[in-house]
Amino acid sequence: MEGRVLIIGLGLIGGSLAMCIKAQHPGAELIGFDADGDQMDLAMMLGVIDRVAGSIEMEAPKADLIIIATPVLTTGSIIESLASLQLKDEVIVTDTGSTKGFISLMASSLREKGIAFIGGHPMAGSHKSGVAAAKKILFENAFYLLTTDTMVRSETVDRLKEWLSGTRAKFLEVSPEEHDYLTGVVSHFPHIIAASLVHQASRAEQGNPLVNRLAAGGFRDITRIASSSPRMWRDILLQNREVLIYLLNDWQDEMGRVKELLVTNDRDSIYDFFDSAKTYRDGLPVSDKGAIPSFYDLFVDVPDYPGVISEITGYLAVENISITNIRIIETREDIYGVLAISFQTPEDRARAKECIEKNTDYDMSLGK
C-alpha cells in the first residue's frame, strides 16, 4: 500500500508499528510526531520514520492513516484536536490504548464528521521503553484487538488490517465494552492483585525481616507486573473503574469462600480449589502472547563457584543470544535450578538451552 502514515507517539509501540508498516509497505511515507523532541530525532536517526512532523495540525490533514500511540488521557485530547481539523474523507484514525470505553466516547467527535475511528490495542510489550527498544517482531503472534462501531464499514477495517499486516499479529474484533471487560480480567485486575501482594509482604516485613529475603524467589516472579508504571496504572484503573469494581467484588466473594473452607477444615474442597485452578492454568495456550508480556525462563542448576554466571552469559554472548533478566534463586521450593535466565521469545530460550548443553553438563528445566 502507498500513502502517508502519521504516527503520534514514538515510544516502544509507536516505533514498532512504524517499523512493521515500513517493512510491509515500502511505498508508504512514515511521518512521526512526539512531544519529546529527542525521541523524534532518535526515530529519524534509527530509520524508524521517514521524516519528522512539524506539528500534528500540519501533517494530519494530509495523512491516509493516523496512529495515536500515546497514554489514553493524552489520546483523548489528541482525538479532540483531530476533530477540529479538515482530515481526508477516507482517512483512518486508530489508537493503541489499553482501555476503550473512554476512547470510544471521545471518538464520537470524529464519527460526527464522518471520519472512521477504529480502536486498536496490540497486546504486546517489553521490559524496555522508548523508540530505541522498538522492533518489528514485537507483535508477532500477539493478539491485536480492534474495536469498531456500526458506522465503520467492513472494507475500512480490512484496509486497517492490511496497513498493519506487517505486525503478523492475530486480529480480533470486539466491542469497546467487551474489550474493557476482557482486558480487565486478564490484565488490569491481575496488576491490582500483584500490587496488593507486594503491599502485604511489605507490611509483613516490618515484623520479620526474613520476608524480604524469601520473597526474592518465586514471589518476586509472580509479582513482576507490580513494577509497572504507577502513573499508567492509575489512569487505567480510573478509566476502567466499573469493570474493576465488579471484578473486585467477585474476588472478595471468592476469597470469602476460601476462608470458609479453612474455617470448616474442608480438606476435599481445598484440594478441589487448587486442582481445578491447576487444570485450567495448564490448559492455557503456551505459544500465544497474552495481555501481560511473557518472559520465557530457563532454570540452570549451576555449581556454586566464582565466575559461574559470567561463564554462562559468556556462552550466550558468543551465540548472540539476548537475555531480558538473570537472577540467582535462593529459595527454590517447587523450582528446579539455582540460576534463572529470562528471554523474550521461546526461540531465544531454545537456542540458549542448546548453547548451554553444548558447553556444559549442567541440568536445566523450562519455566512454565
Residue 237: which CATH number? Answer: 1.10.3660.10
Domain shared by 11 and 147, yes or no: yes
Residue 297 backbone zone (phi > 0: left; psi -120 to 50: alpha; other: beta)? beta
pLDDT at 290: 61
Strand order in the sheet with 92-95: 51-52, 28-33, 3-8, 65-68, 92-95, 116-122, 143-147, 170-174
Domain shared by 152 and 190, yes or no: no
Residue 287 lies in a domain: no
Report which of residues 20 and 304 the model is more confident about.
Answer: 20
d(CA 94, CA 281): 33
Decide: 156 and 92 in contact? Cβ < 8 Å. Answer: yes
Domain shared by 198 and 162, yes or no: no
Q: Provide the whole-model pTM.
A: 0.79
Task: Give per-residue pLDDT as tens, 96-150.
Answer: 999 999 999 999 999 999 999 999 999 887 666 789 888 888 888 889 999 988 7
Domain shared by 195 and 326, yes or no: no
> What range defines the domain where residue 304 resides?
296-366
Domain shared by 133 and 239, yes or no: no
Residue 86 lies in a domain: yes
Number of folded domains that form the chain: 3
Q: Grade residue 227 by pLDDT with cuts at 50, 70 and 90.
A: confident
Domain shared by 150 and 42, yes or no: yes
pLDDT of residue 335 exceeding 70: no
Q: How far from 36 is each of 43, 44, 139, CA to CA, in Å?
A: 11, 13, 24
pLDDT at 334: 47
Domain shared by 352 and 274, yes or no: no
Strand order in the sheet with 296-301: 325-328, 339-343, 296-301, 363-366
